[in-house]
Structure formats: structure tokens, C-alpha cells
Amino acid sequence: MMATRQIVPIVIALISVMLSACVDAGEKKERPTGPAFPVDGKAMAEVIEHARNELMQSSSVTVRADNLRLDVQLKAVADLPFAGSDDRSVRHDGFWGDLQPGGIRLYATERIALFYALDELQEMLSERTRMLPSGQFFSWADHEVRALHLVMRKLSEAEARALIDQARQTRFNTLILQLSDAVRFDNDVIRYRDDAISKSAFVRIIDYARDQGFDVVPGIQLLTHQEHFFKSRYPQLMYNSSTYDPRNAETMRLVAAYLQEVIDTIKPDAIHIGHDEVAGLTEKTRKKWLRPEESALPPELFLQHVIDIQRLLSEQDLETWMWGDMLSTHHEFPTMHAADFNGLGGYADLRGRLPASVVICDWHYYQRRGPFLTAAAHAAEGHPVLGTTWKSPANIVAFSKYMADLPGSRGMIASTWFHVQRRERDVVNDIIETSGKRFWNAR
């Protein structure tokens, strides 16, 4: 039983329709600025946590504790005070709150934004444990998709949940979970790691994320980097040591079988198919991944495989996401950082020949200022584009700002790559905190 000395009813509602009436539509207001009023900090924190837990399980709940009543409702309402007609800015995942001594109201445009609103209320409470400022507050994201990319290798269920919580608190709304050999599905197409988590544990992780409103996109390393997928299990199906042969019918049968189990298990709206860093186009990648007698995969085979996989996924109404590094060269974009390009050997000529519905995840990790012209080039070909960053704060700030105003931009991805597996928590925390903040407030 929660004890309280201050009656503060809270109403939380999901708003699915946004109209043109607005309050200060051009600017966000992250904090109320009215006179503060007293609350029982401990009881209020318990109420917030209870509301958060109930939102993960039910669309409607009423909580009573002593004299405190908490109504939590997910329902459609007519409008939202900050919803604006400003065509420069779409109010993604917006939330609005009104804090008054007689009650607290929280509203949101999407399910996950209800959790953002509760997190914001909890943050205000932590700043002033016995007082809350009165008045309205409202905010929204500058990007539609704010994705956190996580590699599942060596990641326990508890660690995954903690990262999901941190991603929600920093206002991500999408998780790209790189499966590789780290999740043990029933299908034995690939050789799983000894420490791979079970399929049932992975489903629990997915459910935990979705209960908070996250979109989940499985990442599967197809075609390239086969040290993470087929490995050495099918030498007869390999084009070279790093790349499987997409012309082989047995290759497609095995890939399709694995994809189908992932789809049936997760039921995603999109799958990230990798396709980055084709081995053998540079001396560095030849030495790193290939034997002396091996050659790089020709670009036409790469293109056809993307088309085949996209067709396979589109038949089940799934989007295809892929990395974009093979589709451009530094020679084409000399003002950009040279380390982020791999489209040699005719690969850059494929740009414009892929199905336009393919979402290009355009990674640039080292460039510290815009413009990010490759993203604009992909968008000009009709592709939705997701800018992708890593750990450089300057890069995160600049790329997010550029993408926020780019027609055709779908949003941003923050990658963590090997830092989670190395238990480099300071690096991971910096990536999540900086990216979450800058993906929300890009401008």
C-alpha cells in the first residue's frame, strides 16, 4: 500500500490524432515555469513507477492507495495543445503535460511517448523531491526514427533490459538488434556461439521492448561478413572466405529458411540485411578477410541479391534496411571523410539501381560537420534514408542536424558495435546519452 500526504491524481492518455491548434508550436517547452507546489516525493515516485509498470501490461488501469487515485488510460482524443501546422517540423512522438496542485495530466501522440512523459515527470521530481513546478510542458522529436543499434553477442537478458530502459529514458523509439550467431533459433542454418542466448530469452527481450512501445528491427548479416553468419560451415556455398555465393540456389534456400523463422518469431515491420564492407576491393580488406587466390564479389551479384532479398521480404510486407557504404566513393564526395566509403570496383554505380523502397542506412562515423551529401544522394534516388553515427559527439550533432532538415530522411541510428561486448560502459553510456539527446533535439 502506498502512503501519501498529498493527493495528486494523474491522467495519462494516448492521443492518436494531432490537429493544427497549437501552444507555442514553434518551440518546445521541456519544463513548466509556474509557481512550485508541494508533493509527497516518495509517494509520487511510487505512483510514477506503478503507472509505468501498468502501461506495459494494460491499456486502462485505476490505482487507489489511501486517498490517492491514479487513472491511466490509452484512448484517442481530439487534439493536442502543441500540435502545429508548421510544415518544417513534424511532431514525432510528442507528449504534453499540465501540472497543477489539483492534478496532473499527461498526454502523448504514441504509446512510447507516454513513457517519455512519465520519465520527464520523474526527472522533475528528482530535481526537487518535495516540490513540482506548475504549468504546462511539451516536447516532440525532430526525427521520426531514433534507433539504437545493439549487437546481441555476449549480451545477457538482464543487460539487454537495462539497455532498453536506458534507450527509453533517452527517448529512442527503435531498436536494431544484430542477431549474428548470438541468438539460438531452432533452425540450424548457422553455427551458433556457445554462449548464444535462447530463442525464448530473446522473445522475452523483444516483448519487454515492445511493451514500452519500441519498434524492433532484427539485424541479420547477409552476403558479406560471413564470419558472423555461415562462417566455415558451407564452403561449397561461398564465393570467397568472407562472402557467400548469392547465385547458388541452396544458399537462398538456407537464407530464406533462417529469415522465415526470424520473421515468424519476431513479427517485425523491417529487417536490416547488412550488406556492408564487401571484402577484397582494397588491399586492406584482401589481406584481412580473403586468401591470396580469392577475388571480390562483382557488383552485379551484390545488386541481384539485394533485389532478391527485397522481393522476398516485400512479399510479407516487410521493409528492407541495409548499409549504404558500398553505394558511393570518396571520389564522388571529396568534401566528406574518406574512411566512410567502400563503393570501389563499380559498386558506386549501383546507386539508383536498387529498389527505391530499400531504406539506406548511411553511416559516417568520422565527419565532424555537414553537409552529408551521400544521404542527400540516396534521398534523391527515392530511398528513405537513416543517418548512422557512432561515438564522435561532433559527428552525432552535425549529422543529426543535417538529417533533420533533409527531405527523404527517416531519422537516425546510433551504433555501439563492439563496446557493449567489451563492457566499455562509459563509451556506451556516452553514445546513448549524446545520441538520444541530439536525435530528439536535432535543431
Residue 20 lies in a domain: yes
Tell me if 224 is assigned to some domain: yes
**Tens of pLDDT, residue by residue, the chain (443 residues):** 343 334 345 555 544 333 223 334 457 888 899 999 888 888 888 888 888 888 887 655 555 544 444 444 444 334 555 554 343 344 788 888 888 887 788 888 788 988 998 999 999 988 777 888 999 988 999 999 999 999 999 999 999 999 999 999 999 999 999 998 999 999 999 999 999 999 999 999 999 999 999 999 999 999 999 999 999 899 999 999 999 999 999 999 999 999 999 999 999 999 999 999 999 999 999 999 999 999 999 999 999 999 999 999 999 999 999 999 999 999 999 999 999 999 999 999 999 999 999 999 999 999 999 999 999 999 999 999 999 999 999 999 999 999 999 999 999 999 999 999 999 999 999 999 999 999 999 99
- pTM for the full predicted model: 0.92
98 and 174 in a common domain? no
Looking at residue 86, its pLDDT comes to 44
**CATH classification at residue 382:** 3.20.20.80
128 plus 174 within the same structural domain: no
Residue 203 belongs to what domain range? 145-440
Are both 193 and 232 inside the same structural domain?
yes
- Check whether residue 405 and residue 298 sit in a common domain: yes
Same domain, 166 and 110: no
Which of 87, 115, 141 is the last residue before a domain boundary? 141
- 54 & 187 share domain: no
Q: Please indicate, yes or no, whether residues 105 and 189 belong to a single structural domain of this protein.
A: no
Instruction: Identify whether 74 is part of a domain.
Output: yes
Strand partners for 75: none
**What pLDDT score does 54 carry?**
84
Q: Please give the pLDDT value at position 10.
A: 52
The answer to the question of residue 3 being in a domain is: no
The CATH number of residue 116's host domain is 3.30.379
Is residue 103 in a domain? yes
Cβ neighbours of residue 79 under 8 Å, at least 6 residues apart?
15, 17, 18, 19, 21
Q: Are residues 209 and 355 in the same domain?
A: yes
